[in-house]
Amino acid sequence: MKESLLQNPVFGMAARQFDQVADFMELEEEIRERCKWPKRLITVSLPVRMDDGRTEVYLAHRVQHHLSRGPVKGGLRYHPNVDLGEVAALAMWMNWKCALMRLPYGGAKGGINCDPRAMSPREKEGVTRRFAAEILPFIGKEVDIMAPDMGTDEQTMAWIVDVYSANTGHLVPGIVTGKPVELQGSEGRREATGYGVAFLAMRALDKLGCAIEGASAIIQGFGNVGYHAAERLACSGVMVKGISDITGAIWNDNGIDVAKLGEHVRATGGVSGFDEAEGIDPDEMLLQPCEILVPAALERVITGENAPKLNCRVLAEAANGPTTPEADAVISERGDIFLLPDILCNAGGVTVSYFEWVQNLSRFHWSEQEVFTKLETMLERAFERMLNFAGEQQVSHRMAALCLGVREVAEVKKKRGLFP
């Protein structure tokens, strides 16, 4: 199992990053092994009746990386590329992210290998309900709490609450986060990841002594994270000049009207064809000059090939794992790009998910103002911790963020000792 996980390119990348961190921290062999490998890998098959009467069987995975610091927490992704290795890598990154943010969680991730764009709402509901039913013995508000990720949303979470609650006989809102506010979701959760990305990107510009007003940004991916990051940046005076999604890329030198583009996407399903911008090659878009570049879609899009040609001051990793180790080496060597590593940059989502869970457990509802104020405080603290560590140890921002996360986990494992 270890070998087949390592052969997966995304897990291989997460494992290589971990090895570098463990070497740097001189982690003892025993702790290193216990930190590196996932505690539970769960795969279930989901037979689902499709609209045309056929039965399709989907494969779904949930990986719980470790449970030493509390319940596990992580998103649920619907995408045709989902496989166990990718899900395990994302669970490992979640782990370091929760620890870096000092949230009382281990990391997890889930994914269903399906194409949500090709499914009707009824079929998506069928897949989700079947998954919730199959995974039920392995989750719980003190065990494993899911949230939306690529291809899933508040409605997906609402169906999971419904299946889980129907089985327990009472409403259990704390079983997932990222729910609709009407179903005890948190104010601000929908915007939280993008809000955090924009907040940190602007803090990075501040540190570089660059003005925010009039700075430019390019965003790959215009889903939950990309949209809210774009909106927040635009509200703060940043010109969002380039945006791409699965349908193509668009460009406007004077800045794209993000709200109008949002309406266009809702009406047509993608950014392509927006009449207030020109089309641009999606790969070329990433290389255009800008202050802030935000990959907010897939893994491994900043590569050894395009990293030398990037023209940004801040690389804000909204997606998980968007930068390959080869690209990382190029960025470190160049030294002219302020990297906001994924486990910090997109941590706004899990932080407000934590707030949502706390509100659910205490049957309380916080205002949006309260949520964003607390979020900014927690992001600022983690940002400063990362910068201080990087400065003191003379390491990259990614190495600093990962070391801080791994250190929290390693310490807890040491203190708890080995059972039996």
Q: By Cβ distance, which residue is nearest to ligand NAD? A: 223
| Cβ(282)–Cβ(220) below 8 Å | yes
| Nearest distance, CB of residue 216 and ligand NAD, angstroms | 19
- Of the pair 222, 395, the CB lying nearest ligand NAD is at 222
Torsions phi, psi of 212, nearest 5? -85, -45
Give dist(CA 265, CA 260) in Å, integer.
9
Q: Is 36 a catalytic residue?
A: no
CB 71 within 8 A of CB 144: yes
Work out how close the CB of 154 gets to ligand NAD at its nearest, in angstroms, rounded to a whole number.
11
User: Contact positions toward ligand NAD, by CB under 6 A?
Assistant: 75, 148-151, 193, 220-226, 244-246, 282, 296-298, 318-320, 346, 349
**Given the complex with ligand NAD, which of 231 and 245 has the nearer CB atom?**
245
State the nearest-atom distance from the C-beta of 193 to ligand NAD, in Å: 4
Between residues 89 and 403, which has the closer beta carbon with respect to ligand NAD?
89
Nearest Cα neighbor of 377 from 358, 340, 341, 351 is 351
Closest distance to ligand NAD from the beta carbon of 347 (Å): 8
Given 73, 109, 179, 241, the catalytic residue = 109
Least Å from the CB of residue 23 to ligand NAD? 27
Length of the chain, please?
420
Q: Which is nearer to ligand NAD, 136 or 180 (CB)?
A: 180
Closest of 207, 205, 209, 212 to residue 388, by C-alpha: 207
Minimum CB separation of residue 147 from ligand NAD in Å reads 7
**Are 192 and 375 a contacting pair, CB within 8 Å?**
yes
Q: Residue 92 carries which DSSP code?
A: H
Q: Least distance from C-beta 32 to ligand NAD, angstroms? A: 26
Q: Is 10 helix (H, G, I), strand (E, B) or coil?
A: helix
264-284 burial code (b ≥16 CB/10 A, e <16): bbeeeebbbebeebeebebee
Our CB check for ligand NAD shows the closer of 330 and 352 to be 352
Alpha helices, DSSP H, located in 84-237: 84-100, 121-135, 154-168, 189-208, 224-235
Which CB sits closer to ligand NAD, 93 or 338?
93
Nearest to 402 by CA among 7, 27, 6: 27
For 209, which DSSP code?
T
Got the DSSP string for 262-324? Answer: HHHHHHHSSSTT-TTSEEE-HHHHTTS--SEEEE-S-SS-B-TTTGGG---SEEE--SSS-B-
Residue 250: strand pairing partners? 243, 279
User: Catalytic amino acids?
Assistant: 109
